[in-house]
Amino acid sequence: MLLEAVKKYGKLAQMGNQQRSSPHTIEAMQKIREGVIGETYFAKSWYSNNRGPIGVGKLVPVPDYLDWELWQGPAPRKPYKDNYHPYNWHWFWNWGTGETLNNGTHEIDLCLWALDVNYPKRISANGGRYHYKDDWEFYDTLVTSFEYDGKMITWEGKSCNNKQYYGRGRGATIHGTNGTLLIDRNGYEIYNNDDKMIFEFIKKQKDETTGLSGGGPMTDMHFQNFVNAIRMDEKLRSPISEGNISVTMLQLSNIAWKTGRILQIDPSNGQILNDKLAMDLLWKREYEPGWEPKI
């Protein structure tokens, strides 16, 4: 729908994949294109955090600072509970999309960029709500595989266990025939096939990684790119037409998990093949009457 709106009204829309505006990430991707790790074929992405339990919500009066009607927007109406706002709505199907689209979108975008691929042919997702027993409706642990011809991407989300990989709460490793590139928001490293580091870059001014506030230099640069695109016709670094691919892939990951099925995908458009139930989950949702978005 957003793609249709951009096309119809001739407007610009930038996806919030801030790392597309990160100088060290742009540099790393250029080195991959130049063959620093050979032919790329596998990318692993992850996010780890220590999110606590959200408990069992109680019906309470809406806080005086919150317009609950406006906040819910087009979602079907629910009575207010004390464990929805301000952040835990991410873990309820009525409003949220779980950790996968909360943070996975950013890391999967890196993998797509590095492997130079779009929609996969097959998606499988496995996980569950293992850590706590509460109102949380999504998984707290999920592993998804996105399969291509000759390539693969994996996403691993651990919402309630902060064991980090390579000392990083989030990031990606890009594997090729001649080595591996490890990257996150604050630097990157290159290894040869003997696991010897041959290059390292550490950014001096750090960006937010697993906190709730966001922000940092790459976010500022991403906003500036959007402003420059409007004012000076600068090329968008993450136009919504590209960002939509990573978002759709992770919606498909949620659907694969919810249905317990391996999804066969049309790589040309991301649509699910031969599975009406799963396809219905992808292309439509229930809206509050009178709030249905339209172009």
pLDDT in tens, 114-168: 999 999 999 999 999 999 999 999 999 999 999 999 999 999 999 999 999 999 9
Nearest to 116 by CA among 151, 146, 144, 156: 151
**Residue 54, both tokens:** 């959200």
Domain 2-49+94-283, CATH: 3.30.360.10
Out of 18-32, 123-137, 210-224, 230-244, pick the least confident.
Answer: 210-224
215 confidence band (pLDDT: 50, 70, 90):
confident
For the chain, the structural domain boundaries read: 2-49+94-283
Measure CA 83 to chain center: 24
- Give the global pTM: 0.93
What's the pLDDT tens digit per position in 252-294? 999 999 999 999 999 999 999 999 999 998 888 899 999 999 9
Task: Count CA atoms within 13 Å of residue 129 on its CB side.
Answer: 14
- C-alpha span between 82 and 56 (Å, rounded): 9
For range 173-179, the mean pLDDT: 98
